[in-house]
Amino acid sequence: MKKAPLKLVPIISEVFARLNVDIVGPLPESDNRNKYLLTAICLSSKYPDAIPLADVKSTSVIDALIQVFSRLGFLRELQMDLGTNFTSELTETFLEKFGIKAVHSSVHRPQSNAVERFHRTIKRLLRVLCYESGENWERTLPFALLTLRTVTHESTGFSPAELVHGRNLRTPETLLFEKWAELGEEENPVTEYVFTLINRLKKCQDLAIENMEKARDKRKKWYDRGAVERKFKPGDMVLVMATIKPNKLAVSWMGPGTVISQISETNYLVSLPNRREKSQIFHINLLKPYHKRAEIVNVLLSEPVGPEPNDVDLEIVYPNANPDIYDFDEIVREGILKEKCTPEELGELEKVLNRHRKLFSNDPGRTDLIEHNIVLISDQPIRIRPYRTSARQTEILKQEIKRMLDLGVIEVGKSDFSSPLILVEAPGRDPRPCVDYRKLNSVTRAEYFPLPNIEERVEAVASAKYITVIDLTKGYWQIPLSPQAQRYAAFSTPFGSYRPLTMPFGLLNAPYCFSKFMATLLQGCEQYCVPYLDDIAIFSNTWQDHMEHIDEILGKIARAKLKIKPVKCKFAQDCVKYLGHMVEGGCRSPAEAKIQAVLDFPTPRSKTEIRKILGMIVYYSRYIENYATLVEPLTRALKGKTRKETIEWTEEMEKALENVKGKLTQNPVLFAPDFKREFIVQTDASDLGVGVILTQRINGEEHPILYLSRKFSGPEKRYSATERECAAIIFAIKKLRYYLDGQKFKIETDHNPLVWLKTNAGNNPRLMRWALALQLFNYTIVHRPGKEIAHVDCLSRL
């Protein structure tokens, strides 16, 4: 529930015109048998006072107030809470006799009484003083009050004593200073002293009011950051948040009640049924609207009606066909193999696939080589009730459960663990069931197995002449669960409980388990086969090798009792889509569907949407020259600690986004690295950042392998020109280490002094450190005029 904005209260300029009082306790009983304190604070000067009490009866409270009035004089207003000792007839009569107006705070709204904050301060001081001088807090109370009266208050900028007496009181610190300084007494005439005191009080009062106004505005600014303007009208139904006695920290919502009238901008008179007091005043932050549930009315017709038609269950019809689907003609037609292969080659491919025709199926298999197990760090069972779903969603879930039962991936069963099944519905996609395992994952012992590097996989596949892509049928469902994991991974629906027999999606360690299984299954085939979860790529440079490689990999899959989905498989292709990239003939480029998703993304209006679009684009940052500087206006919008989610979309940000989209629509192409050829690292630096291009020369032409760029930090922008150019080289070597390690390569730069970096860096400590770091590599630095590597220069500039 959002709080209402803070309402500004007027600044009290007259000292002791209004006093806030309250009672704190019970405290440990003092030597005088006192257990309570009546605390008071002046709203204008912040002057505090406290009177010990043996009890909180009205008579004791009045005696304490008389002591306060004897020091401060009779007030105009006295603010108190709604305690019975402050609202009794005796107290009201006493205040009325002395012309003091009683003001009461809102119910359960201690923030409206400034003395409440004073309680915490006085308690902390008494605790420290009692620790030093014993448990009798009443004996240390005068010292605590002296301290509070002589310390500068944050709101006023003066100590309470200065605003009341015109000067600060002599404290132990003052006495010590006077003894050291041996100050003499100053003799001033009485009249001069009085005029000086009056002027000083007037000046201090004006400054204090100014400081309090600034402090008040500052508090409102911070308080209103998450506030929302709310109002109620007479007759509105509301719920009231109230404390449950005797525990003040326990709260609950009572009601519903009815708003009778609005007392002030923030207080409402509310009528609550079944309460001793028929109506009470509540602050708006203790109220929230009550929404009455729609009533269901049943109507009984007395007219005779015909027989009810038979109920027809909603049923999703699945094709009743053989799940083992293998059609070589379909594979040839989908892969356009007749245009790419000779009849002899098609015959060889058909012979290989016929030997493994039982692998092709729309139903998942089940391996016997591995079982997924779940180990918990807590023995406390996880039980979450199923979420409520609509009638339409329930029917879809029933059909999906029936399908999974038919496939044998789940079974009906009970468990002391239970996670809810939900239906995930995304635009443009069929709804799919998914188990919410977040609670289970939070107590699961994490296992780790490194997921393959996508960039490395794409480069390896792109360098081949023949490529085959295989996709497993429901890959996770082909790995069985251990009995213990079945117990932990059980899930519930509004119509029953089930236990998964195979590894479901959503488990914490599922990706690592599957990746480890595939790496073990295809061990020894790394030179021509790379898996990424359930996507397997086979790549070769000759047709004969490719047939042998396909035969071997399909044989391993068959022995593991896995199944592959023929619709998503592509055999013996020269161009395929793999992990979001189009790879062919030693080149790679972004997939058109992914680029279209970036182009269709609406204009971002919040930080979340900027992060989404950047997350889509950064996957293809290797294809984009000047990426870091192009998106700089977008990344700059994400900076700052402000919690404000919405952003102002500027023309600069629009231009940056359009430039990036334009780069992607130009069909950028990168070449696969050839580790038998020499690598060339081209670097350049500007005032903004660095740009790097990794290339290779083939038949006299430069073939880009990838682009790199980054912005300079604040200290790096203050580097000299030579240091910035050398920083670009260091950045390039760090990022490209897996290409350059053990290779002889060339560094091309337009900064001629770097050519002598190996022999002439001794005069600059920073260059010396970088030169020593580069000694591990076999490189040669070559100067190349800037006009010949202008494309690198663009990477470092806007």
Confidence of residue 261 (pLDDT cuts 50, 70, 90): confident
Can you give the pLDDT at residue 485?
92
One domain for residues 513 and 602: no
Higher pLDDT, 373 or 659: 373
Distance CA 49, CA 78 (A): 14
Average pLDDT over residues 662-685: 77
CB 497 within 8 A of CB 490: yes
Does 50 share its domain with 138?
yes
Largest CA distance in the chain: 124
Domain coverage including residue 146: 18-181
Q: Say how far apart CA 57 and CA 59 lie, in whole Å.
A: 5
Percent residues over pLDDT 90 in the chain: 7
Question: What is the helix (H) or strand (E) element at residue 474, kind and residue range?
Answer: none
pLDDT per residue as tens digits for the range 2-39: 666 655 555 566 777 778 888 887 877 777 888 888 88
Please report whether residue 299 resides in a domain: no
Q: How confident is the model at residue 371 (pLDDT cuts 50, 70, 90)?
A: very high
Contacts of 185-193 with CB under 8 Å at 24 or more apart are none
The answer to whether 405 and 411 have CB atoms below 8 angstroms apart is yes
Smallest CA-to-CA distance from 12 within 120, 217, 115, 156 is with 156
The residue assigned the tokens 């500068």 is 152
321 domain-assigned: no
The residue with greater pLDDT, 545 or 187, is 545
Specify whether 542 is located in the same domain as 574.
Answer: yes
What mean pLDDT comes out for the span 605-611? Answer: 80
Q: How many domains does the structure of the chain reveal?
A: 5
Q: What average pLDDT does the segment 46-73 reach?
A: 85
- Residues 58/90, Cβ–Cβ less than 8 Å: yes
Number of C-beta neighbours around residue 162 at 10 A? 23
In 3-state terms, what secondary structure has residue 699?
A: coil
Q: Are 14 and 75 in contact (CB under 8 A)?
A: no
Q: Identify how many contiguous H helices and E strands the chain contains and give both numbers.
A: 25, 28
Q: How far apart are CA 363 and CA 359, in angstroms?
A: 10
Q: Which are the contacts of 179, defined by CB distance < 8 A and separation ≥ 6? A: none
Mean pLDDT for the stretch of residues 179-196:
56
The mean of the pLDDT values for the chain is: 76
Residue pair 538/528 in contact (Cβ under 8 Å)? The answer is yes
Q: What is the pLDDT of residue 319?
A: 40
Highest mean pLDDT of the ranges 230-239, 400-409, 616-625, 655-664: 400-409
Same domain for 102 and 79, yes or no, is yes
Q: What is the CATH number of the domain that holds 638?
A: 3.30.70.270
Give the pLDDT of residue 172: 65
Residues 285 and 348 occupy one common structural domain: no
Which pLDDT value is given to residue 139?
77
Angle at 262 between CA 259 and CA 265, to 5 degrees: 130
Domain final position from 112, 147, 181: 181
Which CA distances in Å does 393 have to 425, 433, 498?
10, 10, 18
- Tokens standing for 506? 């959503």
Task: Give the residue with greater pLDDT, 510 vs 192.
Answer: 510
* Same domain for 470 and 391: yes
| pLDDT of 568 over the 50 cut | yes
Which structure tokens are listed for 642?
């402000």
Higher pLDDT, 702 or 319: 702
* 760 and 651 part of one domain: no
Query: Does one domain contain both 660 and 682?
Result: no
CA angle 97-103-104, nearest 5°?
Answer: 125
* Residue that terminates a domain, selected from 525, 556, 585: 585
- What DSSP element (H or E) covers 497? strand 496-500
Task: Summarize pLDDT for 132-182 with one digit per residue, the tens.
Answer: 555 667 777 787 777 777 777 776 667 787 777 766 676 666 666 555 655
Q: Which helix (H) or strand (E) is 345 found in, with range?
A: helix 343-355
SS in 3 state form for 743-757? CEEEEEECCHHHHHC
- 468: domain CATH number is 3.10.10.10
Out of 565, 585, 605, pick the residue that ends a domain: 585
Question: pLDDT, tens digit, for every residue of 744-786?
Answer: 888 888 777 766 666 665 667 787 777 777 777 788 888 877 5
pLDDT band at 310 (very low <50, low <70, confident <90, very high): very low
Residue 161, domain CATH: 3.30.420.10
Of 126, 130, 131, 133, nearest to 147 (Cα)? Answer: 126
> 796: exposed, middle or buried (C-beta count within 10 Å: 0-12, 13-18, 19+)?
buried
Q: CA torsion angle for 444, 449, 453, 454 (degrees, to 10)?
A: -50
* Most confident of the ranges 309-318, 668-677, 775-784: 775-784
Give the contacts of 401 (CB within 8 A, at least 6 positions apart).
410, 433, 493, 496, 498
The contacts of residue 149 (CB under 8 Å, 6+ apart) are 47, 48, 159, 160, 161, 169
Q: What is the CATH number of the domain that holds 249?
A: 2.30.30
Residue 207 pLDDT grade (very low, low, confident, very high; cuts 50, 70, 90): low
CA–CA separation, 56 and 23 (whole Å): 8
Asked if residue 660 belongs to a domain, the reply is yes
Tens digits of residue pLDDT in 470-512: 889 888 899 999 999 999 999 998 888 999 999 998 898 888 8
| Local confidence band at 112 (pLDDT 50, 70, 90 cut-offs) | low
Residue 556 pLDDT grade (very low, low, confident, very high; cuts 50, 70, 90): very high
Best CA proximity match to 518, nearest among 409, 370, 373, 375: 370
Position 233 confidence tier, pLDDT thresholds 50, 70, 90: confident
Mark whether 617 and 572 lie in a shared domain: no
Rounded CA separation 97/793 (Å): 88
Residue with tokens 């519905």: 425
Reply yes or no on whether the pLDDT at 298 is more than 70: no
pLDDT at 263 > cutoff 60 = yes
Indicate whether 581 and 595 sit together in one domain: no
Which residues are CB-contacts of 184 (< 8 A; sequence separation ≥ 6)? none
CA distances, 648 to each of 600, 607, 651 (Å): 20, 10, 10
Alpha helices in 408-509 (DSSP H): 438-442, 454-462, 483-488
The distance from CA 477 to its chain's CA centroid, rounded to whole angstroms, is: 31
298 assigned to some structural domain:
no
Say if 222 falls within a structural domain. Answer: no
The order of strands in the sheet holding 575-578 is: 575-578, 581-584, 587-590, 670-671
Based on the domain organization, do 484 and 391 belong to the same domain?
A: yes
Segment 408-424, tens digit of pLDDT: 999 998 888 999 988 88
Chain centroid to CA 320: 46
Residue 12 lies in a domain: no
Average of pLDDT values for 542-569? 89
| DSSP character at residue 616 | H
Helix (H) / strand (E) containing 204? helix 190-223
Mean pLDDT value across residues 250-257 = 71
Q: Which of 72-86, 169-183, 549-563, 686-700 shows the lowest mean pLDDT across its residues?
A: 169-183
Does 568 fall in a domain? yes
Confirm whether 739 is domain-assigned: yes
Residue 680 shares a structural domain with residue 651: no
Model confidence at 513: pLDDT above 80: yes
Is the predicted pLDDT of residue 364 greater than 80, yes or no?
yes
Whether 303 has a pLDDT exceeding 50, the answer reads: no
The C-alpha torsion from 205 through 208 and 213 to 214, rounded to 10°, is 150
